[in-house]
Structure 1
Amino acid sequence: MARASRTSQARAARQAKMLYDMCAMAIVAGRADLDGADEVGFDIELPMFTVGRAGELANVHPQTLRQYDRLGLVVPQRTDGGARRYSLRDISRLAKAQQLSQEEGINLAGIARILSLEEENRELRRQVERLRRPAGSSVFAADADGGIVEIERSRRARMWRRQIQVDARQLPSRESVEAARVAADAYDMRGGGVAGENEGIERGKPVSRPISRSIVLWGID
């Protein structure tokens, strides 16, 4: 009985890892976003990806990952042994940072500002959606001890939502994001360059995020 239970838990863990990997690839490719992943039951804060896998998914060199970590741009969680583990949110930030750097030439200070504005925007959308969300169907999850628990979700939880229609006055506008990019370009023109671009990022101790105690099982209802 105990052996069968361990086998079942191992199978569930492998399934969850595969699904998180697929979700991360979809986010990087632009076929999904964090709002959609969160809505269908993924824990976007769950530290699932090693440094090597995170670099592969986001097409970011390990040295760049360490730089982002040191500057507080993308700070992964740590295992008890000190190993870095990245979440879906981290993968999304890495992919966006890489796009802004490689395709648009934004420096690190500008990237940090843009990512901050986008995160504020996303959090406000989530708050509005929580207020609008009706009581819905259920999804099942495996807790840390292998037990099955039931949690509530929206009836629309199976749909990837690209955008949520909310009052634009409540959200940072596109102009705000564009202004941050223009400011970053102006910073470069003033001679900030690589040597000065890191000054716009607050240097502080990484804030460890709470590690989730559950793994969501896809497609069970």
Structure 2
Amino acid sequence: MMHHYDEPVYLISIVSKMLDIHPQTLRQYERENLICPSRSDGRIRLYSQRDVDKIKLILRLTRELGVNIAGVDIILRLRESVDSMEKEIAELRHEVQRANNARSVSPDKALVTKRSTYEMIIFEE
């Protein structure tokens, strides 16, 4: 059965086995606000595939690159910020493309208006 990327389906015990980490480590990541698993009605933590991938990134940063938890937090925040900006840029590009497609005057022809100012000087004798 295929699950949606953001669908919370994994119990903490499953995630800890999948990633070979102690469940207490996952709880610590949650206390540090690095991850935010969903909760069932019975308050059981449920992780999505997105959560698992984020935990993999955290583990890579800490284990392979030696980044501490505070550094991981900064990296994750910057990553979210960059992702948000990239999404906004894509939306703006789409909007510009749509505006260009709706243009009634071809791009090589443009209506240009110029303002001229004339001053009148009167000489009195």
TM range (shorter): 0.5 to 0.7
Partner of 2:25: 64
What amino acid is aligned across from residue 116 of structure 1 in structure 2?
R
- Structure 1's unaligned 5+ residue stretches are 1-14, 18-41, 134-221
CA distance in 1, matches of 2:93, 2:35: 31
Q: CA deviation at 1:54?
A: 1.9
Compute the TM-score of the two structures, normalised by the length of structure 2. 0.64
Using the alignment, how far apart are the partners of 2:7 and 2:15 within structure 1? Answer: 13
- Counterparts of 1:41-52 in structure 2, within 5 Å, are 42=4, 44-52=5-13
Where does structure 1 differ by over 6 angstroms across 4 or more consecutive aligned residues? Answer: none
CA offset at residue 89 of structure 1?
A: 2.4
Aligned partner of 1:88 in structure 2 is 49
**CA shift digits 1:46-79 (9 cap, x unpaired):** 2121112222333332110011112211121100
Match for 1:83: what amino acid?
I
Give TM-score scaled by structure 1 length.
Answer: 0.38
Number of corresponding residues: 95
Q: Which amino acid in 1 is paired with 2:27?
A: R
- The one-letter code matched in structure 1 to 2:7 is L
The higher relative CO (CA closer than 8 Å, separation ≥ 6) is in: 1
| 1:79 maps to 2:40 | yes
Q: Which residue of 2 aligns with 1:16?
A: 2
RMSD: 2.2
Match of 2:64 among 93, 97, 103: 103
Question: Partner of 2:73 in structure 1?
Answer: 112
SS in 1 for 2:10: coil
SS, match of residue 43 in structure 2: coil
Report deviation, 1:91. 1.3
Q: Larger Rg: 1 or 2? A: 2
Give 5+ residue unaligned stretches, structure 2.
95-125
